[in-house]
Each structure stands twice: as structure tokens, then as C-alpha cells.
Amino acid sequence: MIATESLSKRFPRVTALDRLSVDIAPGVTGLVGANGAGKSTLIKILLGLSPATEGRAEVLGLDVAAEGAAIRERVGYMPEHDCLPPDVSATEFVVHMARMSGLPLTAARERTADTLRHVGLYEERYRPMGGYSTGMKQRVKLAQALVHDPRLVLLDEPTNGLDPVGRDEMLALIRRVHTDFGISVLVTSHLLGELERTCDHVVVIDGGKLLRSSATSDFTRATGSLAVEVTDTDAHPDGTAALRAALSSAGLTVQPASGDGRFAPGGAGPVLLVDVAGDGTYDVVRDAVAGLGLGLVRMEPRRHRIAEVFRAPGTPEHNSAQKWGSSDAD
């Protein structure tokens, strides 16, 4: 879908992209990097809107330097910043964008209605956009990127400004763009963790350089421990502590973890991490839970989180992860 070769972009005071070579296959790909890493610059070059200083890039087999217009016919773009005219309605705006992409009026109206419904805008689509919430504006920006039925969409920070619920809804919507319509997606974020449920592949850049490009499953491989969560009972008001004691006396190694299954050395969260010593470990846990009369909420192989890969001290990933901030790591 996208291939760059030693792509550089230098501004007078800063190198925004530094010899970036990366191949991006069809599917949903996350482009992750701290603020200023070069994500928006890369998107503008891929759309043929900004020339590279050096190197080359292709989108859908088209050269960005020579075939920008053809790329923009086939690719949808959702810009990062608020760019919607406040006085027009979502319907008027998206019809206009569809017409600009070359659709006849009737087709533009039909596609607009379908696309706005798909992104979850209904009656409010007839109201001026100046009164929309951030979430509604992000949906309109997504709709205008999809309305001409592109093969690929480039989404620049689509979750910016959204609360956690709005963020999850937007990420689910992005996933559906691919599963429902077969459109490939390149989505940027400065939050490492948020893309792991949405993307098949993650490309991480830092200071304009490629840090890592891997399948999401490579980042989130199984860890060799089980995450176990149980309910409390009258007999065992702290069911987790009771189970921990029982598993330790059965010879298993148990660590406390925080609620989302991540290891938290100092914490005594509701999730226990049990080292898997073999298939028998599952039986020991099951028998211990049953023996104590607790309810088993979950018992599942624990997987790495993307952010953890970047927290391992001494790795280049760790050094760059310092810029990501703690909200993302949680």
C-alpha cells in the first residue's frame, strides 16, 4: 500500500523525517510517535502535498512526487486539526467534498447519507457544525475522508480531544472501516497503547527515524504467565489474597498485578499473575478457586502490552518512550 525509501524532510531548523524506509501492507496500521516525531509530515508527503527533501515514496504503487493528484483521488485524508466551516451542516459539507472528488450530485448525496449514518451522525447532520461536540466533528472529518470510497485512508490523530469513551468508539469505527468496507487504514497517534486493539501492524517513529515496524501480535505476544481474577465471598472477603496464599502453598509463583493484568510490583490489585509451569498449572488454579468457593472471573494467558516493550530499560525503545508520558502507559 505504502512504501518509503530513505525518505527525508528537512525544514530550516529541524529534520522532520530522517531517511525513513518502511513498507506498509493492506490492513489497519498504526503510525505512532511522540508529538513532533514526524507523523503529519509523513502523511503530507504521502498525499503529494509536500515535497520530500530526499528519498522516495509510493502510495498504491503511485509515485508521490509525480502522481499526487492520482493518489488523492484514491486516498481519503482526515486532517489532525479542526478544519470544519462552522456555518454549514455536516450534510452540506460532506456533499461538497464528495462533489470535489468528482461524484455527480445524486451519487454525492446518496454517499453522504450512507457515510454519515455509518459514522453515527443522524438528525444532527442537518445542523450547522459550529455547534457540534469534538466527537461529532471528528466523525464528520472521518466521513469526508470516506465519502468517495477510497482504497486507503490516512487518519491523523483521529482520537485527539476525545474522552476515553469517545476514543474507544472512534477506534471501533476505524476498525470497521476496514472490516466492513475493506478500506486500508493508516492511523496516527501519540498514544502507544491505544492502537494495539485496533491495528494489525504498528510503525513507531521517533525524531523522524523508524524505531520499529512490527505486527501488533509481535508486540503483544504471550508472557508465560496467567492472569487470574476471582470474586470475594463472605468466607473470604479478600478472595484474591486467599487464592494467592493457596496457590503459593501449592508451589506456584504468584505476583500481584493491577486491574488490567499488568504487573505492578508494589500493588495488590485484583488480578494475580501466576507463572505457568506446565498444563497442570491451569488445573491447580481451578482446584484452588473451587476449594475456596470463590467465583472465577477470568483465567487467561497474559499478553504483553505495546507500552511495556518500550519500557524495558536499556533499549532504544525505552529511551524514546520517556517522551510518551504516563497517561499512555496506563
Ligand X SMILES: Nc1ncnc2c1ncn2[C@@H]1O[C@H](COP(=O)(O)OP(=O)(O)OP(=O)(O)O)[C@@H](O)[C@H]1O
Among 7, 8, 38, 309, binds ligand X (CB under 6 A): 38
Smaller CB separation from ligand X, 17 or 294: 17
Among 7, 39, 136, 137, binds ligand X (CB under 6 A): 39
User: What is the C-alpha to C-alpha distance for residues 276 and 274, in angstroms, rounded to an integer?
Assistant: 6
Backbone angles phi, psi at 43, to 5 degrees: -60, -45
CB of 29 to ligand X, least distance (A): 15
Tracing cell 489497519 back to the chain, one arrives at: 28
* 41 is a site residue for ligand X (CB under 6 A): yes
Chain center to CA of 269: 26
DSSP state of 191: -
* 36 is a site residue for ligand X (CB under 6 A): yes
User: What is the C-alpha to C-alpha distance for residues 41 and 16, in angstroms, rounded to an integer?
Assistant: 7
Among 1, 20, 37, 202, binds ligand X (CB under 6 A): 37
CB of 84 to ligand X, least distance (A): 18
Smaller CB separation from ligand X, 18 or 229: 18
Kind plus residue range of the DSSP H or E element containing 107: helix 105-118
User: What is the C-alpha to C-alpha distance for residues 130 and 249, in angstroms, rounded to an integer?
Assistant: 63
Nearest C-alpha neighbor of 328 from the set 221, 189, 206, 218: 189
All three cell numbers of 53, joined, read: 527533501
Among 2, 28, 30, 33, binds ligand X (CB under 6 A): 33
Segment near ligand X (CB under 6 A); pick from 39-47, 99-107, 122-130, 313-321: 39-47
Smaller CB separation from ligand X, 32 or 271: 32
Segment near ligand X (CB under 6 A); pick from 8-16, 59-67, 96-104, 245-253: 8-16
* 16 is a site residue for ligand X (CB under 6 A): yes
CB of 14 to ligand X, least distance (A): 4
User: What is the C-alpha to C-alpha distance for residues 214 and 291, in angstroms, rounded to an integer?
Assistant: 43
User: By CB under 6 A, what part of segment 161-200 binds ligand X?
Assistant: 190
* 325 is a site residue for ligand X (CB under 6 A): no
Give every strand in the sheet of 209-215, ordered side by side. Answer: 75-78, 152-155, 184-189, 28-32, 201-206, 209-215
User: What is the C-alpha to C-alpha distance for residues 139 and 132, in angstroms, rounded to an integer?
Assistant: 10
CB of 76 to ligand X, least distance (A): 18
Point out which residues bind ligand X (CB under 6 A).
11, 14, 16, 33, 35-41, 157, 190
